[in-house]
Amino acid sequence: MDQLNKALFGEDFKWGVSTAAFQIEGACDVDGKGISIWDAFTAKKGKVLNGHKADIACDFYNSYQADIDLIRQLNIPNFRFSISWTRVLPNGIGEVNQAGIDYYNRVIDYCISQGIEPWVTIYHWDLPQILEDKGGWTNREVVTWFTEFVILCAKNFGDKVKHWMVMNEPSVFSGAGYFFGIHAPGRTGLKNFLPVIHHVVLSMVAGGKKLRELLPNAVIGTTFSCSWIEPRSDSKRDIKAAKVADALVNRLFIEPILGLGYPVNDIPVLKGLEKFYQPGDEKNMSFDFDFIGLQNYTREIVRYSFFTPYINASLVKAKDRNADITAMGWEVYPPAIYHIIKKFNAYPQIRKILITENGAAFPDNMTDDGVNDPKRVSYLQDHLKQVLKAKQEGCKVQGYFVWTLTDNFEWAEGYHPRFGLIHVDFDSQKRVVKSSGKWYADFLKG
Protein backbone atom coordinates (compact mmCIF):
# COMPACT_ATOMS: atom_id res chain seq x y z
CA MET A 1 0.00 0.00 0.00
CA ASP A 2 2.77 2.43 -0.99
CA GLN A 3 0.55 4.73 -3.01
CA LEU A 4 -1.83 6.64 -0.75
CA ASN A 5 -4.86 7.81 -2.66
CA LYS A 6 -7.94 9.58 -1.33
CA ALA A 7 -10.18 7.52 -3.66
CA LEU A 8 -9.23 4.32 -1.78
CA PHE A 9 -11.16 5.57 1.27
CA GLY A 10 -14.44 5.86 -0.65
CA GLU A 11 -16.78 8.67 -1.67
CA ASP A 12 -18.50 9.03 1.72
CA PHE A 13 -15.34 9.27 3.81
CA LYS A 14 -15.23 12.58 5.73
CA TRP A 15 -12.01 14.61 5.55
CA GLY A 16 -11.39 17.54 7.84
CA VAL A 17 -9.32 19.54 10.26
CA SER A 18 -9.95 20.12 13.98
CA THR A 19 -9.51 23.08 16.34
CA ALA A 20 -10.74 24.26 19.76
CA ALA A 21 -12.02 27.68 20.84
CA PHE A 22 -9.66 28.37 23.74
CA GLN A 23 -6.63 27.28 21.72
CA ILE A 24 -7.19 29.62 18.77
CA GLU A 25 -9.71 32.40 19.42
CA GLY A 26 -7.96 34.82 21.76
CA ALA A 27 -10.23 37.83 22.42
CA CYS A 28 -10.33 36.55 26.00
CA ASP A 29 -12.35 39.42 27.45
CA VAL A 30 -14.01 41.19 24.53
CA ASP A 31 -17.67 41.50 23.54
CA GLY A 32 -18.97 40.29 26.88
CA LYS A 33 -17.04 37.01 27.17
CA GLY A 34 -16.79 35.64 30.73
CA ILE A 35 -13.83 33.95 32.44
CA SER A 36 -13.28 30.23 31.90
CA ILE A 37 -11.27 27.85 34.07
CA TRP A 38 -8.46 28.07 31.51
CA ASP A 39 -8.42 31.89 31.66
CA ALA A 40 -8.06 31.57 35.44
CA PHE A 41 -5.53 28.70 35.28
CA THR A 42 -3.20 30.42 32.81
CA ALA A 43 -3.21 33.56 34.99
CA LYS A 44 -1.57 31.57 37.81
CA LYS A 45 2.20 31.45 37.98
CA GLY A 46 3.96 28.26 36.95
CA LYS A 47 0.93 26.46 35.50
CA VAL A 48 1.81 26.84 31.81
CA LEU A 49 5.22 26.40 30.16
CA ASN A 50 7.06 29.75 29.85
CA GLY A 51 4.10 31.51 31.47
CA HIS A 52 2.25 31.56 28.16
CA LYS A 53 -1.36 32.74 28.04
CA ALA A 54 -4.09 32.40 25.41
CA ASP A 55 -5.31 36.00 25.63
CA ILE A 56 -4.60 36.45 21.92
CA ALA A 57 -3.64 32.92 20.80
CA CYS A 58 -4.13 32.79 17.00
CA ASP A 59 -6.58 35.71 17.08
CA PHE A 60 -9.11 33.52 15.27
CA TYR A 61 -11.85 35.68 16.79
CA ASN A 62 -10.79 38.48 14.47
CA SER A 63 -9.14 36.52 11.65
CA TYR A 64 -11.67 33.71 11.21
CA GLN A 65 -12.48 34.69 7.62
CA ALA A 66 -8.83 34.56 6.52
CA ASP A 67 -8.33 31.22 8.30
CA ILE A 68 -11.47 29.73 6.76
CA ASP A 69 -10.21 30.97 3.37
CA LEU A 70 -7.05 28.94 4.05
CA ILE A 71 -9.15 25.87 4.87
CA ARG A 72 -10.84 26.27 1.50
CA GLN A 73 -7.46 26.76 -0.26
CA LEU A 74 -6.26 23.52 1.34
CA ASN A 75 -9.28 21.70 -0.15
CA ILE A 76 -10.47 20.69 3.33
CA PRO A 77 -14.25 20.11 3.19
CA ASN A 78 -15.03 19.80 6.93
CA PHE A 79 -14.01 22.14 9.77
CA ARG A 80 -14.32 21.10 13.41
CA PHE A 81 -14.34 23.90 15.99
CA SER A 82 -15.81 24.39 19.46
CA ILE A 83 -18.13 26.88 21.13
CA SER A 84 -16.62 28.80 24.04
CA TRP A 85 -19.10 28.33 26.90
CA THR A 86 -18.28 31.72 28.45
CA ARG A 87 -18.57 33.54 25.13
CA VAL A 88 -22.25 32.66 24.87
CA LEU A 89 -23.07 32.31 28.60
CA PRO A 90 -20.63 34.57 30.48
CA ASN A 91 -21.99 33.42 33.86
CA GLY A 92 -22.23 29.78 32.83
CA ILE A 93 -26.03 29.82 33.01
CA GLY A 94 -28.73 32.46 32.77
CA GLU A 95 -28.12 35.60 30.76
CA VAL A 96 -27.18 34.96 27.12
CA ASN A 97 -24.42 37.03 25.51
CA GLN A 98 -25.88 37.88 22.10
CA ALA A 99 -22.52 39.13 20.83
CA GLY A 100 -21.12 35.61 21.34
CA ILE A 101 -24.08 34.00 19.58
CA ASP A 102 -23.69 36.44 16.67
CA TYR A 103 -19.97 35.67 16.43
CA TYR A 104 -20.48 31.91 16.05
CA ASN A 105 -23.26 32.48 13.56
CA ARG A 106 -20.82 34.56 11.49
CA VAL A 107 -18.22 31.76 11.65
CA ILE A 108 -20.81 29.13 10.67
CA ASP A 109 -22.26 31.29 7.88
CA TYR A 110 -18.81 32.01 6.48
CA CYS A 111 -17.89 28.30 6.49
CA ILE A 112 -21.07 27.49 4.58
CA SER A 113 -20.51 30.35 2.11
CA GLN A 114 -17.06 28.87 1.34
CA GLY A 115 -18.43 25.35 0.84
CA ILE A 116 -17.05 24.08 4.15
CA GLU A 117 -19.18 21.94 6.47
CA PRO A 118 -19.10 23.12 10.11
CA TRP A 119 -18.67 20.40 12.77
CA VAL A 120 -19.35 21.81 16.22
CA THR A 121 -17.87 20.54 19.49
CA ILE A 122 -20.00 21.81 22.35
CA TYR A 123 -17.54 21.29 25.22
CA HIS A 124 -13.79 21.52 24.67
CA TRP A 125 -12.54 22.02 28.24
CA ASP A 126 -13.43 25.69 28.92
CA LEU A 127 -15.84 25.42 31.86
CA PRO A 128 -16.95 28.84 33.20
CA GLN A 129 -14.89 29.73 36.28
CA ILE A 130 -18.05 30.94 38.02
CA LEU A 131 -19.37 27.34 37.84
CA GLU A 132 -16.03 25.92 38.95
CA ASP A 133 -16.35 28.12 42.04
CA LYS A 134 -19.54 26.14 42.77
CA GLY A 135 -17.68 22.83 42.42
CA GLY A 136 -17.50 22.57 38.64
CA TRP A 137 -17.64 18.98 37.41
CA THR A 138 -17.59 17.69 41.02
CA ASN A 139 -21.04 19.27 41.56
CA ARG A 140 -23.94 17.16 40.27
CA GLU A 141 -25.73 20.36 39.26
CA VAL A 142 -23.24 20.53 36.37
CA VAL A 143 -25.54 18.15 34.47
CA THR A 144 -28.24 20.84 34.51
CA TRP A 145 -25.77 23.63 33.73
CA PHE A 146 -24.29 21.71 30.81
CA THR A 147 -27.74 20.83 29.44
CA GLU A 148 -28.66 24.53 29.42
CA PHE A 149 -25.50 25.23 27.37
CA VAL A 150 -26.40 22.43 24.92
CA ILE A 151 -29.94 23.79 24.50
CA LEU A 152 -28.56 27.26 23.75
CA CYS A 153 -26.22 25.87 21.08
CA ALA A 154 -28.93 23.72 19.50
CA LYS A 155 -31.46 26.56 19.34
CA ASN A 156 -29.04 29.14 17.97
CA PHE A 157 -26.93 27.07 15.55
CA GLY A 158 -28.98 23.92 14.92
CA ASP A 159 -30.68 25.20 11.78
CA LYS A 160 -27.27 25.41 10.06
CA VAL A 161 -25.05 22.86 11.84
CA LYS A 162 -25.71 19.22 11.01
CA HIS A 163 -22.73 17.53 12.74
CA TRP A 164 -22.25 17.77 16.50
CA MET A 165 -19.78 16.50 19.08
CA VAL A 166 -21.03 16.73 22.65
CA MET A 167 -17.66 16.59 24.42
CA ASN A 168 -13.96 16.43 23.73
CA GLU A 169 -11.78 13.84 25.47
CA PRO A 170 -13.46 13.41 28.88
CA SER A 171 -10.64 11.23 30.20
CA VAL A 172 -8.12 14.03 29.64
CA PHE A 173 -10.02 16.99 31.07
CA SER A 174 -11.20 14.94 34.07
CA GLY A 175 -7.88 13.20 34.76
CA ALA A 176 -5.49 16.07 34.04
CA GLY A 177 -7.81 18.69 35.55
CA TYR A 178 -9.32 16.93 38.57
CA PHE A 179 -6.86 14.15 39.50
CA PHE A 180 -3.33 15.20 38.50
CA GLY A 181 -4.00 18.95 38.64
CA ILE A 182 -1.76 19.69 35.63
CA HIS A 183 -4.67 21.17 33.62
CA ALA A 184 -7.41 23.58 34.62
CA PRO A 185 -8.90 23.83 37.17
CA GLY A 186 -5.86 22.24 38.86
CA ARG A 187 -7.65 19.99 41.37
CA THR A 188 -6.13 16.74 42.55
CA GLY A 189 -7.01 13.42 44.11
CA LEU A 190 -9.61 10.69 44.00
CA LYS A 191 -12.12 12.75 46.00
CA ASN A 192 -12.38 15.11 43.01
CA PHE A 193 -11.85 12.61 40.21
CA LEU A 194 -14.58 10.09 41.10
CA PRO A 195 -17.57 12.48 41.17
CA VAL A 196 -16.26 14.15 38.00
CA ILE A 197 -16.26 10.82 36.12
CA HIS A 198 -19.90 10.18 36.94
CA HIS A 199 -21.12 13.73 36.33
CA VAL A 200 -19.30 13.88 32.98
CA VAL A 201 -20.95 10.63 31.84
CA LEU A 202 -24.39 11.89 32.90
CA SER A 203 -23.73 15.24 31.15
CA MET A 204 -22.49 13.64 27.94
CA VAL A 205 -25.65 11.53 27.75
CA ALA A 206 -27.95 14.40 28.75
CA GLY A 207 -26.33 16.51 26.00
CA GLY A 208 -26.77 13.80 23.39
CA LYS A 209 -30.42 13.24 24.33
CA LYS A 210 -31.17 16.97 24.28
CA LEU A 211 -29.59 17.39 20.83
CA ARG A 212 -31.60 14.45 19.50
CA GLU A 213 -34.81 15.91 20.94
CA LEU A 214 -34.24 19.42 19.56
CA LEU A 215 -32.47 18.46 16.29
CA PRO A 216 -33.91 15.12 15.14
CA ASN A 217 -32.03 15.27 11.81
CA ALA A 218 -28.62 16.09 13.32
CA VAL A 219 -25.65 13.71 13.29
CA ILE A 220 -24.57 13.46 16.92
CA GLY A 221 -21.28 12.16 18.26
CA THR A 222 -18.79 12.61 21.07
CA THR A 223 -15.02 12.16 21.13
CA PHE A 224 -12.52 10.16 23.17
CA SER A 225 -8.74 10.27 23.46
CA CYS A 226 -7.27 6.80 23.01
CA SER A 227 -3.75 5.43 23.31
CA TRP A 228 -2.82 1.93 22.25
CA ILE A 229 -1.53 0.22 25.40
CA GLU A 230 1.02 -2.62 25.47
CA PRO A 231 2.74 -4.32 28.43
CA ARG A 232 6.50 -3.87 28.78
CA SER A 233 7.02 -7.61 29.04
CA ASP A 234 4.98 -10.80 29.01
CA SER A 235 5.17 -11.09 32.80
CA LYS A 236 1.77 -11.50 34.46
CA ARG A 237 2.25 -8.31 36.47
CA ASP A 238 3.07 -6.17 33.42
CA ILE A 239 0.16 -7.67 31.47
CA LYS A 240 -2.22 -6.90 34.34
CA ALA A 241 -0.83 -3.35 34.63
CA ALA A 242 -1.42 -2.79 30.91
CA LYS A 243 -5.00 -4.07 31.24
CA VAL A 244 -5.67 -1.63 34.10
CA ALA A 245 -4.10 1.26 32.15
CA ASP A 246 -6.24 0.38 29.12
CA ALA A 247 -9.38 0.40 31.27
CA LEU A 248 -8.48 3.82 32.64
CA VAL A 249 -7.35 5.44 29.38
CA ASN A 250 -9.61 3.80 26.79
CA ARG A 251 -12.65 2.23 28.47
CA LEU A 252 -13.60 4.44 31.42
CA PHE A 253 -16.00 6.73 29.53
CA ILE A 254 -16.96 4.81 26.39
CA GLU A 255 -18.27 1.70 28.17
CA PRO A 256 -20.85 3.40 30.38
CA ILE A 257 -22.29 5.36 27.45
CA LEU A 258 -22.55 2.08 25.51
CA GLY A 259 -24.61 0.65 28.39
CA LEU A 260 -21.79 -1.54 29.71
CA GLY A 261 -21.19 0.31 32.98
CA TYR A 262 -17.83 1.36 34.40
CA PRO A 263 -14.85 -1.07 34.14
CA VAL A 264 -14.94 -1.73 37.88
CA ASN A 265 -13.61 -5.28 37.62
CA ASP A 266 -10.32 -4.02 36.21
CA ILE A 267 -10.13 -0.86 38.36
CA PRO A 268 -11.62 -1.81 41.76
CA VAL A 269 -11.19 1.75 43.11
CA LEU A 270 -14.04 2.74 40.77
CA LYS A 271 -16.40 1.03 43.21
CA GLY A 272 -16.23 4.40 44.96
CA LEU A 273 -18.43 5.78 42.17
CA GLU A 274 -21.45 4.08 43.75
CA LYS A 275 -21.86 6.77 46.38
CA PHE A 276 -22.49 9.34 43.63
CA TYR A 277 -25.30 7.32 42.04
CA GLN A 278 -28.89 8.46 42.36
CA PRO A 279 -32.05 6.56 41.39
CA GLY A 280 -32.45 6.41 37.61
CA ASP A 281 -28.76 7.04 36.87
CA GLU A 282 -28.29 3.70 35.10
CA LYS A 283 -30.74 4.63 32.35
CA ASN A 284 -29.24 8.12 32.12
CA MET A 285 -25.72 6.83 31.56
CA SER A 286 -26.10 5.44 28.04
CA PHE A 287 -26.97 6.96 24.68
CA ASP A 288 -26.96 5.69 21.10
CA PHE A 289 -24.59 8.16 19.43
CA ASP A 290 -24.57 8.33 15.61
CA PHE A 291 -20.77 8.21 15.66
CA ILE A 292 -17.86 8.00 18.06
CA GLY A 293 -14.85 10.24 17.49
CA LEU A 294 -11.50 8.65 18.30
CA GLN A 295 -8.41 10.77 18.89
CA ASN A 296 -5.13 8.92 18.74
CA TYR A 297 -1.56 10.13 18.63
CA THR A 298 0.62 7.37 20.07
CA ARG A 299 0.95 4.12 21.99
CA GLU A 300 2.04 3.67 25.59
CA ILE A 301 4.17 0.90 27.05
CA VAL A 302 3.08 0.06 30.61
CA ARG A 303 4.83 -1.78 33.44
CA TYR A 304 3.84 -2.94 36.89
CA SER A 305 4.54 -0.33 39.56
CA PHE A 306 4.19 -1.10 43.26
CA PHE A 307 4.38 2.61 44.11
CA THR A 308 1.54 3.87 41.89
CA PRO A 309 -1.60 4.04 44.04
CA TYR A 310 -4.94 2.59 42.90
CA ILE A 311 -3.68 1.06 39.64
CA ASN A 312 -0.12 -0.33 40.25
CA ALA A 313 0.82 0.64 36.72
CA SER A 314 3.16 3.23 35.23
CA LEU A 315 4.23 4.32 31.76
CA VAL A 316 7.67 3.58 30.35
CA LYS A 317 8.53 6.91 28.72
CA ALA A 318 9.14 6.82 24.99
CA LYS A 319 12.49 8.61 25.30
CA ASP A 320 13.66 5.98 27.80
CA ARG A 321 12.86 3.36 25.18
CA ASN A 322 14.91 5.24 22.53
CA ALA A 323 11.75 5.53 20.45
CA ASP A 324 11.24 8.11 17.70
CA ILE A 325 9.35 10.92 19.47
CA THR A 326 7.45 14.13 18.74
CA ALA A 327 7.90 17.52 20.43
CA MET A 328 5.39 16.30 23.05
CA GLY A 329 7.65 13.36 23.90
CA TRP A 330 5.13 10.95 22.39
CA GLU A 331 6.29 7.90 20.45
CA VAL A 332 5.72 7.96 16.70
CA TYR A 333 4.00 4.59 16.24
CA PRO A 334 1.52 4.57 13.32
CA PRO A 335 0.14 1.03 13.99
CA ALA A 336 -1.39 2.46 17.21
CA ILE A 337 -4.22 4.08 15.24
CA TYR A 338 -4.96 0.80 13.45
CA HIS A 339 -5.12 -1.12 16.74
CA ILE A 340 -7.35 1.55 18.33
CA ILE A 341 -9.80 1.46 15.41
CA LYS A 342 -9.93 -2.34 15.63
CA LYS A 343 -10.44 -2.20 19.40
CA PHE A 344 -13.39 0.21 19.23
CA ASN A 345 -14.80 -1.43 16.11
CA ALA A 346 -15.26 -4.58 18.23
CA TYR A 347 -17.98 -2.82 20.27
CA PRO A 348 -21.19 -3.77 18.42
CA GLN A 349 -22.98 -0.77 19.98
CA ILE A 350 -20.76 1.69 18.05
CA ARG A 351 -22.42 2.57 14.75
CA LYS A 352 -19.68 4.56 13.10
CA ILE A 353 -16.13 5.67 13.91
CA LEU A 354 -14.42 8.89 12.85
CA ILE A 355 -10.84 9.82 13.64
CA THR A 356 -11.58 13.31 14.95
CA GLU A 357 -7.95 14.13 15.83
CA ASN A 358 -4.58 12.83 14.68
CA GLY A 359 -1.42 14.80 14.11
CA ALA A 360 2.02 15.62 15.45
CA ALA A 361 4.09 18.43 16.92
CA PHE A 362 7.63 18.78 15.62
CA PRO A 363 10.09 21.67 15.83
CA ASP A 364 9.43 23.73 12.69
CA ASN A 365 12.08 25.87 11.02
CA MET A 366 10.97 28.90 9.06
CA THR A 367 13.22 29.61 6.05
CA ASP A 368 12.91 31.81 2.97
CA ASP A 369 11.21 28.84 1.33
CA GLY A 370 8.60 28.56 4.12
CA VAL A 371 8.28 25.69 6.57
CA ASN A 372 9.45 22.31 5.37
CA ASP A 373 8.18 19.67 7.81
CA PRO A 374 8.90 16.24 6.31
CA LYS A 375 8.42 14.47 9.66
CA ARG A 376 4.83 15.71 9.92
CA VAL A 377 4.14 14.72 6.30
CA SER A 378 5.46 11.21 7.02
CA TYR A 379 3.47 11.02 10.25
CA LEU A 380 0.19 11.87 8.47
CA GLN A 381 0.87 9.55 5.54
CA ASP A 382 1.89 6.62 7.75
CA HIS A 383 -1.15 7.04 10.00
CA LEU A 384 -3.52 7.33 7.05
CA LYS A 385 -2.14 4.06 5.66
CA GLN A 386 -3.06 2.42 8.97
CA VAL A 387 -6.57 3.97 8.90
CA LEU A 388 -7.00 2.65 5.35
CA LYS A 389 -5.78 -0.79 6.42
CA ALA A 390 -8.45 -0.89 9.15
CA LYS A 391 -11.11 0.32 6.72
CA GLN A 392 -10.16 -2.27 4.11
CA GLU A 393 -10.45 -4.96 6.79
CA GLY A 394 -14.08 -3.95 7.25
CA CYS A 395 -13.86 -1.55 10.20
CA LYS A 396 -16.62 1.07 10.36
CA VAL A 397 -14.20 4.02 10.19
CA GLN A 398 -15.64 6.79 8.02
CA GLY A 399 -13.61 9.94 8.55
CA TYR A 400 -10.27 11.53 9.41
CA PHE A 401 -9.62 15.02 10.84
CA VAL A 402 -6.09 16.37 11.23
CA TRP A 403 -5.09 18.07 14.48
CA THR A 404 -4.70 20.91 13.75
CA LEU A 405 -5.24 23.80 11.34
CA THR A 406 -2.81 26.37 12.77
CA ASP A 407 -0.12 26.24 15.43
CA ASN A 408 -1.94 27.20 18.62
CA PHE A 409 -2.01 27.35 22.41
CA GLU A 410 -1.33 23.78 23.46
CA TRP A 411 -2.73 23.86 27.03
CA ALA A 412 -0.07 23.36 29.73
CA GLU A 413 2.63 23.29 27.04
CA GLY A 414 1.85 26.84 25.89
CA TYR A 415 3.03 27.75 22.38
CA HIS A 416 6.02 25.40 22.42
CA PRO A 417 4.57 22.38 20.55
CA ARG A 418 3.51 23.22 17.00
CA PHE A 419 0.84 20.87 15.64
CA GLY A 420 -0.45 23.04 12.78
CA LEU A 421 -0.63 22.46 9.05
CA ILE A 422 -0.15 26.23 9.02
CA HIS A 423 2.71 28.02 10.82
CA VAL A 424 1.76 31.00 12.99
CA ASP A 425 4.16 33.76 14.01
CA PHE A 426 2.52 34.64 17.33
CA ASP A 427 4.02 38.14 17.34
CA SER A 428 2.83 39.20 13.88
CA GLN A 429 0.00 36.62 13.50
CA LYS A 430 1.37 35.88 10.02
CA ARG A 431 0.29 32.53 8.58
CA VAL A 432 2.48 30.33 6.36
CA VAL A 433 1.20 27.02 4.99
CA LYS A 434 3.71 24.28 5.84
CA SER A 435 4.70 21.55 3.41
CA SER A 436 2.38 19.22 5.40
CA GLY A 437 -0.53 21.57 4.67
CA LYS A 438 0.41 21.59 0.97
CA TRP A 439 0.64 17.79 0.99
CA TYR A 440 -2.80 17.46 2.61
CA ALA A 441 -4.27 19.89 0.06
CA ASP A 442 -2.83 17.88 -2.84
CA PHE A 443 -4.00 14.61 -1.28
CA LEU A 444 -7.54 15.93 -0.84
CA LYS A 445 -7.56 17.24 -4.40
CA GLY A 446 -7.03 13.64 -5.47
The Cβ of residue 377 has, within 10 Å, a number of other Cβ atoms equal to 19
Q: Which residues pair with 397 in a beta bridge?
A: 353
Distance of CA 205 to the CA centre of its chain: 17
Closest CA to 344 of 382, 381, 291, 271: 291
The answer to whether 415 and 52 are in contact (CB under 8 A) is: yes
In 3-state terms the chain splits into helix, strand, coil percentages (rounded to 5) of 40, 20, 40
Quick check: is 331 catalytic?
Answer: no
User: Which member of 230, 255, 331, 357 is catalytic?
Assistant: 357
Cα 84 from Cα 82, distance rounded (Å): 6
DSSP string, 320-345: GGT--B-TTS-B--THHHHHHHHHHH
Q: Which residues pair with 370 in a beta bridge?
A: 367
- 35 phi and psi angles, rounded to 5 deg: -95, 130
Closest CA to 355 of 254, 225, 258: 225
User: Which member of 169, 230, 331, 410 is catalytic?
Assistant: 169
Which SS3 state, helix, strand or coil, does residue 364 take?
coil
Q: Which residues have a Cβ under 8 Å from the Cβ of 428 and sit 6 or more positions away?
A: none
Quick check: is 11 catalytic?
Answer: no
> Pairing relation of β-strands 397-403 and 219-231?
unpaired
The answer to whether 300 and 229 are in contact (CB under 8 A) is: yes
Residues annotated catalytic, as ranges: 169, 357
